[in-house]
Structure 1
Amino acid sequence: MWQRCKTLIVAVLALVFSQQALADTAWDSYKSRFLMPDGRIVDTGNKSVSHTEGQGFAMMMAVANGDRDSFDKMWNWTRKTLKNPENGLFYWRYNPVEAQPIPDKNNATDGDTFIAWALLKAGEKWKNKDYLNESDAITKALVAHNVVRFAGYQVMLPGANGFNRNSYLNLNPSYFIFPAWQDFANRSHLMVWRDLINDGQKLLGKMHFGDPQLPSDWVSLYSDGRTVPATQWPARFSYDAIRVPLYVYWFNHNSAELGVYKAWWGRFARDKTPAWVNVTTGNTAPYMMAGGLLAVRDLILQPASVAQPQITAQEDYYSASLKMLVALSVSGT
């Protein structure tokens, strides 16, 4: 009897340690591919620029992996290089090969949100008040400069400038980062975050466009409450909108909103699922999902089958990031 118990214990411990090793390997691989010594994350699929999205994503990964040294490197570079002293937010894009690396002084609220969220998680994990204070300052700036009430909804604009067109707003539903908003609500007890969650969910329900019944990457919200795919971008459920079901799942594994993604992806075999679909015409990509896109599909259709991420040598920044974020959503980090 004892021998069988001993064998079982050894097997369980081996499984636990092997899973931890895979997780460590994924983060180590991610760092080796995309983290520069100064703390800058490079987008290898986009001419090796850097942006707040990547900094925020990787800061969250560092917290989840208990890697405070990498976290501090990334946060220090982000704060010193990208922080806008005029509004407390962050310049969204940095290109090291340009004479002026930051030509666009606008922010991107998904990047700002992830940075603030990572600082909140880091402050809680490592009992650091400075991280918490920095997070609070960013969330306060987000509310002040990016949250508006429009057409009866509380809405997070994609950036402080250029998205409010008076008669309509241009929105990016992949910037509705519900689990982060929930954590901000829990910390601040401000109703604005709960209103953003509730109204964001209502808006997603109005973004079931065309035959696939999916949101487009960019959506226009008109003053009368209508939502349509934004005309300034292709009307595709594509590389931005792929994050919508990821964040919905991360917030609520059992959300009814996940049904539209299950229905669309369920039409195709796993290896025959198109990478994007035009929600207006129904045209699909001539190439199939791979890498991080498939990881999101697997998360929604078969969450129990999601394994620890494997970052390949050929993987670009965004594909690898999606894989890592899927793993974080499963762990509830």
Structure 2
Amino acid sequence: MKNIFEDYGYSKFDVENRIIDCWNNIFDKANPNHFYFDACDGMGYIEDTGNDDVRTEGMSYGMMMAVQMNRKDIFDKIWKWVKTYMYLDSGPNAGYFCWSNQPDGKKNADGPAPDGEEYFALTLFFAAKRWGNGDGIFNYTEQARSILRTAIHGESKMWFEENHHIRFVPNCPFTDPSYHLPHFYEIFAECADKCDSSYWKAAAKASRQYIAKACHPETGLAAEYADDDGKPLPPKSHGTFFSDAYRVAANIAVDSLWFGQTKELSEIAGKIIKFFDGKEMYELKDYMVDGRPLKKNARHPVALIATIAQAAAAVEPGNRACAERAVRRFWETPMRTGRRRYYDNCLYFFAVLALSGKYVKY
């Protein structure tokens, strides 16, 4: 895959060191900023340091990082923790995973957040292709297929049946634009149950179309939560450009890297980069999707800088100058320290992998 950092003059040595530093910052217990922790019985977990809990979002992110870095040991530890403490084995959400647990394993909820399930499924398929299947919970392929089977055929469905859009939570009337991962669904079409292949193909097409509708025509910004037609929810109901919404730019970038550019989505990536061009980290705010700044500073400014830079992987040639500025701003921004570091540094690491050509489709 293309190494965008090298295209902009950064050496292979420096890029490789940045990747290693990112991994150590998250997973090395000797690093004071780490938020991966080993647990008993050969398990491990990623802690959301901003909320003092363990989330399917972070656990699935940790599994993606581990499979990309060829760390089967870490992958299996996280997956064992997920299956031991997060799995829901009864009720309408049986077959899913509790979206939030305490670090000791106690469940904080009785339902899932679909972004965790879709990441779990993809990372398990990748693990099967990279390392092969094992037994029981380490039969990665069957575990992934089971998740997706439940998601579209179970009692509490994660996707709207009529248009293949993912929901914010099962049976919910609205969605989260950053949950739309067409590049994942292309792989699900290849790897999930054969009888569902056409469903996932349709979901990939529908999600690309949905992202294009959900992003503002001038700024490219999407809301954190939006109706099924792409319209932002009211501002007090997370209908603004806020933390989750940063990931839309990153998702467009990885879709482009794995399956080629889509004209409408590439244009959105360019609009996002242009909207933030020249803004320093201290200037970053929460925004209405039309670009009007709100009073609060961005809660996760490092994550925002990272995802803006990642969008450089999807832009058309005419946006190269501002894309390069976005990448250089990101390169010069260190990973975050302190209580809020979890979300910022997860998105930071994914951006480094994508821009270095190391975010690989297996």
The TM-score range, normalised by the shorter chain, is 0.7 to 0.9
**Contact map agreement 1:308 1:327 (CA 8 A) in 2:** no
Q: Within 1, Cα distance between the matches of 2:203 and 2:141? A: 21
Q: In the superposition, relative to structure 1, how do residues 19 and 234 fare at CA in structure 2: closer, same or farther (>3 Å)? A: closer
Instruction: Give the alignment partner of residue 274 of structure 1, picking from 253, 272, 284.
Output: 284
Instruction: Give the alignment partner of residue 21 of structure 2, picking from 19, 25, 28.
Output: 25
**Contact map agreement 1:309 1:324 (CA 8 A) in 2:** no
**Contact map agreement 2:269 2:311 (CA 8 A) in 1:** yes
How big is the shift at 1:218?
Answer: 0.4
Q: In the superposition, relative to structure 1, how do residues 307 and 126 fare at CA in structure 2: closer, same or farther (>3 Å)? A: farther
Q: Which amino acid aligns with 1:148?
A: F
Which residue number corresponds to residue 271 of structure 2? 263
Which residue number corresponds to residue 174 of structure 2? 170
Q: Which amino acid aligns with 1:297?
A: I
Gaps of 5+ in 1: 1-14, 164-168
The reply on whether 1:95 has 2:98 as its aligned counterpart is: no
Which 10-residue stretch deviates more, 57-66 or 24-33? 24-33
Q: Within 2, Cα distance between the matches of 1:111 and 1:309? A: 27
Deviations 1:14-52 (A, max 9, x none): x65554343223212211311111212111112x11110
Q: In the superposition, relative to structure 1, how do residues 178 and 88 fare at CA in structure 2: closer, same or farther (>3 Å)? A: same
**Contact map agreement 2:310 2:354 (CA 8 A) in 1:** no
How big is the shift at 1:280?
Answer: 6.3
Which 10-residue stretch deviates more, 21-30 or 110-119? 21-30
The reply on whether 1:35 has 2:36 as its aligned counterpart is: yes
**Contact map agreement 1:185 1:191 (CA 8 A) in 2:** yes
The reply on whether 1:65 has 2:65 as its aligned counterpart is: no
1:117-156 map, 5 Å: 117-129=122-134, 130-144=139-153, 145-150=157-162, 153-156=163-166
Q: Within 2, Cα distance between the matches of 1:227 and 1:65? A: 35
Which residue number corresponds to residue 316 of structure 1? 341
How big is the shift at 1:325?
Answer: 1.6
How big is the shift at 1:307?
Answer: 5.4
Instruction: Give the alignment partner of residue 298 of structure 1, picking from 280, 285, 309.
Output: 309
**Contact map agreement 1:214 1:261 (CA 8 A) in 2:** no
**Contact map agreement 1:22 1:308 (CA 8 A) in 2:** no
Which residue number corresponds to residue 88 of structure 2? 84
Instruction: Give the alignment partner of residue 179 of structure 1, picking from 180, 183, 191.
Output: 183
**Contact map agreement 1:309 1:323 (CA 8 A) in 2:** no
**Contact map agreement 1:30 1:311 (CA 8 A) in 2:** no
Q: Within 2, Cα distance between the matches of 1:199 and 1:307? A: 34
Q: Within 2, Cα distance between the matches of 1:171 and 1:89? A: 18
**Contact map agreement 1:19 1:308 (CA 8 A) in 2:** no
Q: Within 2, Cα distance between the matches of 1:57 and 1:308? A: 24
Q: Which amino acid aligns with 1:73?
A: K
Q: Rg larger in 1 or in 2?
A: 1
How big is the shift at 1:299?
Answer: 1.9
Q: Within 2, Cα distance between the matches of 1:257 and 1:132? A: 30
Q: In the superposition, relative to structure 1, how do residues 211 and 249 fare at CA in structure 2: closer, same or farther (>3 Å)? A: closer
**Contact map agreement 1:245 1:258 (CA 8 A) in 2:** no
Which residue number corresponds to residue 243 of structure 1? 247
How big is the shift at 1:63?
Answer: 0.9
SS in 1 for 2:293: coil
**Contact map agreement 2:272 2:308 (CA 8 A) in 1:** no
RMSD, aligned α-carbons: 2.7
How big is the shift at 1:91?
Answer: 0.8
Q: Within 2, Cα distance between the matches of 1:286 and 1:96? A: 30
Which residue number corresponds to residue 158 of structure 1? 168
Q: In the superposition, relative to structure 1, how do residues 280 and 270 fare at CA in structure 2: closer, same or farther (>3 Å)? A: closer
* % same residue: 19
Q: Which amino acid aligns with 1:115?
A: F
Deviations 1:70-99 (A, max 9, x none): 1111010000000111331111111348xx
Deviations 1:149-203 (A, max 9, x none): 24xx221122224x1xxxxx21011111222222111223511111111111112
Which residue number corresponds to residue 4 of structure 2? none
**Contact map agreement 2:225 2:233 (CA 8 A) in 1:** yes
SS in 2 for 1:137: helix
**Contact map agreement 2:98 2:107 (CA 8 A) in 1:** yes
Instruction: Give the alignment partner of residue 326 of structure 1, picking from 315, 338, 351.
Output: 351
| TM-score (ref. length: structure 2) | 0.76
